[in-house]
Amino acid sequence: MRLFLVDTLTAVLFFTTVAALSELLIAGMEPSAVLFTRLVMIPVMVATGRPYGWWRDMLFRRFAPRRARARTALDITAFISFQAPVYALTLLAAGATLAQTTAAVGSALVLMVLLSRPYGLLLDWSRRMAGVTPA
């Protein structure tokens, strides 16, 4: 249960912060629209926080990377292979066309690559601070 809480809270805090800054500073959204969007996304983050942590843990156990570059590459692989399909399904469920979904996911891949390792490091740190280890 503690691992679920740590993984979920870390996901909510990290992605709410990063997405809100992006929506405000890059997309130029109004603060009220950012707040609404972030509130709508909380259930998605709650539903995927621990499953992503499990997926990442499984890949790290399977490949056991020792070098920093290998850990970074595996974090990128884990993040994209889990989050890109979740993002695509979320867009499709929201009514985006296949072309819109493909374009959005394609452009999001750059951010996913950039965010994957920092998120992995934050997840590891959060777990250490909470005294939990992967299942």
pLDDT in tens, 19-74: 899 888 888 889 998 899 889 889 999 999 999 999 999 999 999 999 999 999 99
For residue 98, give both structure tokens. 């296949």
pLDDT digits (tens, 9 = 90+) for 74-126: 999 999 999 999 999 988 988 899 999 999 999 889 999 999 999 999 999 99
Report field, pTM of the whole predicted structure over 0.85: yes
| Residue 59, CA distances (Å) to 63, 77, 80, 81, 126 in order | 6, 9, 13, 11, 19
CA distance 122 to 118: 6
Q: Do 88 and 101 form a contact (C-beta atoms < 8 A)? A: yes
Left if phi > 0, otherwise alpha if psi is -120 to 50, otherwise beta: which for 28? left
